[in-house]
Protein backbone atom coordinates (compact mmCIF):
# COMPACT_ATOMS: atom_id res chain seq x y z
CA UNK A 1 0.00 0.00 0.00
CA UNK A 2 2.81 2.34 0.84
CA UNK A 3 4.11 2.07 -2.72
CA UNK A 4 1.00 3.87 -3.96
CA UNK A 5 1.91 6.95 -1.95
CA UNK A 6 5.55 6.90 -2.87
CA UNK A 7 6.54 10.12 -4.63
CA UNK A 8 8.53 8.64 -7.48
CA UNK A 9 9.68 12.04 -8.71
CA UNK A 10 11.78 12.55 -5.61
CA UNK A 11 12.18 9.10 -4.03
CA UNK A 12 13.12 6.92 -7.00
CA UNK A 13 16.18 7.02 -9.20
CA UNK A 14 16.37 6.00 -12.85
CA UNK A 15 18.70 6.10 -15.81
CA UNK A 16 17.79 9.25 -17.78
CA UNK A 17 19.23 8.31 -21.19
CA UNK A 18 19.50 10.91 -23.94
CA UNK A 19 17.82 13.72 -21.98
CA UNK A 20 21.19 13.95 -20.31
CA UNK A 21 22.81 15.10 -23.55
CA UNK A 22 21.56 18.55 -22.53
CA UNK A 23 24.03 18.54 -19.65
CA UNK A 24 26.93 17.48 -21.90
CA UNK A 25 25.90 20.12 -24.44
CA UNK A 26 25.78 22.87 -21.81
CA UNK A 27 29.20 21.98 -20.41
CA UNK A 28 30.77 21.79 -23.90
CA UNK A 29 29.43 25.23 -24.86
CA UNK A 30 30.37 26.80 -21.55
CA UNK A 31 33.93 25.44 -21.84
CA UNK A 32 34.25 26.75 -25.41
CA UNK A 33 34.66 23.28 -26.95
CA UNK A 34 31.91 24.24 -29.39
CA UNK A 35 31.17 27.87 -30.21
CA UNK A 36 29.04 27.82 -33.36
CA UNK A 37 26.04 25.54 -32.80
CA UNK A 38 25.09 25.65 -36.49
CA UNK A 39 28.47 24.95 -38.06
CA UNK A 40 27.95 22.26 -40.68
CA UNK A 41 30.56 19.52 -40.52
CA UNK A 42 31.59 20.34 -36.95
CA UNK A 43 30.98 16.62 -36.25
CA UNK A 44 30.80 13.46 -38.30
CA UNK A 45 28.93 10.35 -37.15
CA UNK A 46 30.36 7.18 -38.69
CA UNK A 47 28.00 4.96 -36.70
CA UNK A 48 30.34 4.41 -33.76
CA UNK A 49 33.25 5.87 -31.83
CA UNK A 50 36.22 4.15 -30.20
CA UNK A 51 37.03 5.07 -26.63
CA UNK A 52 40.06 3.48 -24.93
CA UNK A 53 39.81 0.43 -27.19
CA UNK A 54 36.05 0.03 -26.74
CA UNK A 55 33.79 0.69 -29.72
CA UNK A 56 30.51 2.39 -28.74
CA UNK A 57 27.71 2.52 -31.29
CA UNK A 58 25.40 5.33 -32.27
CA UNK A 59 21.77 4.23 -31.89
CA UNK A 60 21.59 4.66 -35.68
CA UNK A 61 24.78 2.69 -36.42
CA UNK A 62 23.07 1.00 -39.41
CA UNK A 63 22.66 4.36 -41.15
CA UNK A 64 25.19 6.80 -39.64
CA UNK A 65 24.21 10.45 -39.27
CA UNK A 66 27.29 11.69 -41.18
CA UNK A 67 28.10 15.40 -41.13
CA UNK A 68 26.31 17.34 -38.39
CA UNK A 69 26.24 20.64 -36.56
CA UNK A 70 25.73 20.57 -32.78
CA UNK A 71 22.07 21.51 -33.27
CA UNK A 72 21.60 18.60 -35.69
CA UNK A 73 23.45 16.22 -33.36
CA UNK A 74 21.08 17.08 -30.51
CA UNK A 75 18.08 16.78 -32.81
CA UNK A 76 19.35 13.39 -34.03
CA UNK A 77 20.36 12.42 -30.48
CA UNK A 78 23.61 11.18 -32.03
CA UNK A 79 25.63 9.29 -29.38
CA UNK A 80 29.19 9.60 -30.79
CA UNK A 81 28.98 13.40 -30.81
CA UNK A 82 28.19 13.57 -27.10
CA UNK A 83 30.74 10.88 -26.26
CA UNK A 84 33.34 12.95 -28.12
CA UNK A 85 32.36 16.11 -26.24
CA UNK A 86 32.57 14.24 -22.93
CA UNK A 87 36.09 13.03 -23.78
CA UNK A 88 37.17 16.58 -24.63
CA UNK A 89 35.77 17.86 -21.35
CA UNK A 90 37.50 15.11 -19.34
CA UNK A 91 36.34 13.47 -16.11
CA UNK A 92 37.38 16.31 -13.79
CA UNK A 93 35.61 19.08 -15.72
CA UNK A 94 32.58 16.89 -16.48
CA UNK A 95 32.13 16.07 -12.80
CA UNK A 96 32.49 19.76 -11.91
CA UNK A 97 29.40 20.37 -14.10
CA UNK A 98 27.53 17.48 -12.47
CA UNK A 99 28.28 19.26 -9.22
CA UNK A 100 27.28 22.72 -10.52
CA UNK A 101 24.04 21.33 -11.95
CA UNK A 102 23.49 19.87 -8.45
CA UNK A 103 23.26 16.32 -9.77
CA UNK A 104 25.61 14.91 -7.15
CA UNK A 105 23.48 16.03 -4.20
CA UNK A 106 19.82 16.11 -3.23
CA UNK A 107 17.98 19.18 -4.52
CA UNK A 108 16.72 20.17 -1.06
CA UNK A 109 13.09 20.32 -2.19
CA UNK A 110 10.66 20.96 0.69
CA UNK A 111 9.29 17.40 0.69
CA UNK A 112 10.35 14.38 2.76
CA UNK A 113 12.02 11.25 1.44
CA UNK A 114 14.22 12.69 -1.28
CA UNK A 115 16.76 10.24 -2.71
CA UNK A 116 20.19 11.08 -4.08
CA UNK A 117 21.74 10.16 -7.42
CA UNK A 118 24.02 7.16 -7.95
CA UNK A 119 27.16 8.04 -9.93
CA UNK A 120 30.47 6.25 -10.08
CA UNK A 121 32.96 8.10 -7.85
CA UNK A 122 35.01 10.60 -9.84
CA UNK A 123 38.31 8.85 -9.06
CA UNK A 124 36.91 5.57 -10.42
CA UNK A 125 35.53 7.01 -13.66
CA UNK A 126 37.74 6.29 -16.66
CA UNK A 127 37.22 7.29 -20.32
CA UNK A 128 34.68 4.51 -21.03
CA UNK A 129 32.59 5.34 -17.97
CA UNK A 130 32.71 9.03 -18.90
CA UNK A 131 31.58 8.09 -22.43
CA UNK A 132 28.44 6.35 -21.16
CA UNK A 133 27.63 9.17 -18.72
CA UNK A 134 27.95 11.68 -21.58
CA UNK A 135 24.93 10.18 -23.32
CA UNK A 136 22.96 9.42 -20.18
CA UNK A 137 23.67 5.80 -19.29
CA UNK A 138 25.09 3.74 -16.40
CA UNK A 139 24.09 6.10 -13.59
CA UNK A 140 20.84 7.03 -11.89
CA UNK A 141 19.24 10.29 -10.84
CA UNK A 142 15.79 11.29 -9.57
CA UNK A 143 13.35 13.04 -11.92
CA UNK A 144 13.44 16.11 -9.64
CA UNK A 145 17.24 16.29 -9.99
CA UNK A 146 16.90 16.27 -13.77
CA UNK A 147 14.11 18.86 -13.69
CA UNK A 148 16.22 21.07 -11.39
CA UNK A 149 19.25 20.79 -13.67
CA UNK A 150 17.27 21.57 -16.83
CA UNK A 151 15.46 24.43 -15.06
CA UNK A 152 18.81 26.13 -14.55
CA UNK A 153 19.27 26.06 -18.34
CA UNK A 154 15.79 27.60 -18.72
CA UNK A 155 16.51 30.17 -15.97
CA UNK A 156 19.34 31.79 -17.89
CA UNK A 157 21.95 29.67 -16.15
CA UNK A 158 20.95 30.19 -12.52
CA UNK A 159 20.33 27.14 -10.33
CA UNK A 160 17.43 27.32 -7.93
CA UNK A 161 16.15 24.95 -5.26
CA UNK A 162 12.75 23.54 -6.28
CA UNK A 163 9.88 24.54 -3.99
CA UNK A 164 6.32 23.32 -3.60
CA UNK A 165 4.86 26.38 -1.93
CA UNK A 166 5.21 29.84 -3.45
CA UNK A 167 3.10 31.84 -1.03
CA UNK A 168 0.96 31.31 2.07
CA UNK A 169 -2.11 33.56 2.47
CA UNK A 170 -3.88 33.63 5.80
CA UNK A 171 -7.56 33.41 4.86
CA UNK A 172 -8.66 35.35 7.96
CA UNK A 173 -6.08 38.10 8.28
CA UNK A 174 -5.14 38.12 4.56
CA UNK A 175 -1.56 38.22 5.69
CA UNK A 176 0.77 37.09 2.92
CA UNK A 177 3.90 35.15 3.58
CA UNK A 178 6.17 34.56 0.57
CA UNK A 179 8.39 31.51 0.39
CA UNK A 180 11.56 32.94 -1.15
CA UNK A 181 13.33 31.46 -4.17
CA UNK A 182 16.63 30.00 -3.10
CA UNK A 183 19.32 30.60 -5.71
CA UNK A 184 22.41 28.41 -5.82
CA UNK A 185 24.70 30.33 -8.13
CA UNK A 186 25.43 30.35 -11.83
CA UNK A 187 25.85 27.04 -13.65
CA UNK A 188 26.28 28.35 -17.19
CA UNK A 189 26.27 31.82 -18.77
CA UNK A 190 23.15 33.44 -20.17
CA UNK A 191 24.67 33.11 -23.64
CA UNK A 192 25.15 29.34 -23.23
CA UNK A 193 21.66 28.92 -21.82
CA UNK A 194 20.18 30.74 -24.82
CA UNK A 195 22.05 28.49 -27.24
CA UNK A 196 20.88 25.32 -25.48
CA UNK A 197 17.29 26.57 -25.31
CA UNK A 198 17.35 27.41 -29.00
CA UNK A 199 18.45 23.85 -29.80
CA UNK A 200 15.82 22.42 -27.44
CA UNK A 201 13.20 24.35 -29.40
CA UNK A 202 14.43 22.74 -32.61
CA UNK A 203 14.04 19.29 -31.01
CA UNK A 204 10.35 20.09 -30.51
CA UNK A 205 9.73 21.91 -33.79
CA UNK A 206 11.62 19.50 -36.08
CA UNK A 207 13.05 16.59 -34.12
CA UNK A 208 12.06 13.77 -31.78
CA UNK A 209 9.92 15.91 -29.46
CA UNK A 210 7.19 17.03 -31.87
CA UNK A 211 4.39 15.78 -29.59
CA UNK A 212 5.32 18.42 -27.02
CA UNK A 213 4.27 21.37 -29.18
CA UNK A 214 1.83 23.75 -27.48
CA UNK A 215 0.24 26.53 -29.53
CA UNK A 216 1.16 30.00 -28.31
CA UNK A 217 4.13 28.86 -26.25
CA UNK A 218 7.80 28.59 -26.98
CA UNK A 219 8.52 25.01 -26.04
CA UNK A 220 11.88 23.33 -25.86
CA UNK A 221 12.70 19.77 -24.87
CA UNK A 222 14.73 16.61 -25.24
CA UNK A 223 13.62 13.00 -25.41
CA UNK A 224 15.29 10.02 -23.80
CA UNK A 225 14.90 6.25 -23.71
CA UNK A 226 16.79 3.89 -21.47
CA UNK A 227 16.57 0.27 -20.40
CA UNK A 228 14.91 -0.41 -17.05
CA UNK A 229 17.51 -2.82 -15.71
CA UNK A 230 19.70 -5.10 -17.80
CA UNK A 231 18.07 -7.11 -20.61
CA UNK A 232 14.59 -6.69 -19.18
CA UNK A 233 13.10 -5.44 -22.46
CA UNK A 234 11.41 -2.80 -20.33
CA UNK A 235 12.17 0.76 -21.25
CA UNK A 236 11.91 4.06 -19.46
CA UNK A 237 11.11 7.01 -21.64
CA UNK A 238 11.70 10.56 -20.57
CA UNK A 239 10.87 13.93 -21.93
CA UNK A 240 12.09 17.08 -20.34
CA UNK A 241 10.41 20.25 -21.41
CA UNK A 242 10.75 23.94 -20.72
CA UNK A 243 8.18 26.45 -21.83
CA UNK A 244 7.55 30.20 -21.95
CA UNK A 245 4.89 32.27 -23.67
ZN1 LIG B 1 24.94 9.23 -35.04
Residues 154/118, Cβ–Cβ less than 8 Å: no
| Residue 229 pLDDT exceeds 70 | no
| Residue 230 pLDDT exceeds 60 | no
| Residue 199 pLDDT exceeds 60 | yes
Nearest to 150 by CA among 84, 213, 95, 223: 223
Q: How far is the CA of 133 from the centre of ligand 1 (A)?
A: 17
Q: What is the pLDDT of residue 20?
A: 95
Q: How far is the CA of 47 from the centre of ligand 1 (A)?
A: 6
| Residue 29 pLDDT exceeds 60 | yes
Q: How far is the CA of 50 from the centre of ligand 1 (A)?
A: 13
Q: What is the pLDDT of residue 57?
A: 95
Q: How far is the CA of 60 from the centre of ligand 1 (A)?
A: 6
Report the predicted TM-score, pTM, of the whole model to 2 decimal places: 0.89
CA separation for the pair 222, 201 (Å, rounded):
9
Q: How far is the CA of 78 from the centre of ligand 1 (A)?
A: 4
Give the percent of the chain with pLDDT over 90: 76
Q: pLDDT band at 203, cuts 50/70/90? A: confident
Average pLDDT over residues 24-49: 97
| Residue 70 pLDDT exceeds 90 | yes
Average pLDDT over residues 31-52: 97
| Residue 239 pLDDT exceeds 80 | no
Q: What is the pLDDT of residue 11?
A: 93
| Residue 244 pLDDT exceeds 60 | no
Mean pLDDT of the residues in the chain: 90
DSSP structural state of residue 61: T
Q: pLDDT band at 212, cuts 50/70/90? A: confident
CA separation for the pair 70, 100 (Å, rounded):
22
Q: What is the pLDDT of residue 222?
A: 84
* List of residues 6+ apart from 171 with CB closer than 8 A: none
121-to-112, 139, 229 alpha-carbon distances in Å: 26, 11, 20
Average pLDDT over residues 90-114: 96
7-to-13, 59, 111, 118 alpha-carbon distances in Å: 11, 32, 9, 18
69 is catalytic: no
| Residue 132 pLDDT exceeds 80 | yes
Q: How far is the CA of 212 from the centre of ligand 1 (A)?
A: 23
Q: What is the pLDDT of residue 231?
A: 57
| Residue 238 pLDDT exceeds 90 | no
Q: What are phi and psi of 225, to 5 degrees?
A: -135, 135
Alpha helices (runs of H) in the chain, residue ranges in sequence order: 2-5, 8-11, 21-30, 70-76, 79-100, 127-134, 143-154, 190-205
Average pLDDT over residues 95-112: 96
| Residue 242 pLDDT exceeds 90 | no
Instruction: Please count the other Cβ atoms lying within 10 Å of the Cβ belonging to residue 66.
Output: 14
**Given 18, 26, 117, 226, the catalytic residue:** 18
CA separation for the pair 106, 119 (Å, rounded):
13
DSSP structural state of residue 114: -
Q: How far is the CA of 49 from the centre of ligand 1 (A)?
A: 10
Ordered structural domains, the chain, with CATH: 2-240 (3.40.710.10)
Q: How far is the CA of 193 from the centre of ligand 1 (A)?
A: 24
Amino acid sequence: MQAVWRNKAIADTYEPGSVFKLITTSAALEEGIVTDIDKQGEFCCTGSIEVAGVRIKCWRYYRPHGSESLRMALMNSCNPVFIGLGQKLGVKTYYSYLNKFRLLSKTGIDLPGEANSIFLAEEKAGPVELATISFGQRFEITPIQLATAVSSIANGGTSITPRIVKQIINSKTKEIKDVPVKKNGTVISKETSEKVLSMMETVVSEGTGKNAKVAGYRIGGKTGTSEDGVNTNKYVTSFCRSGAN
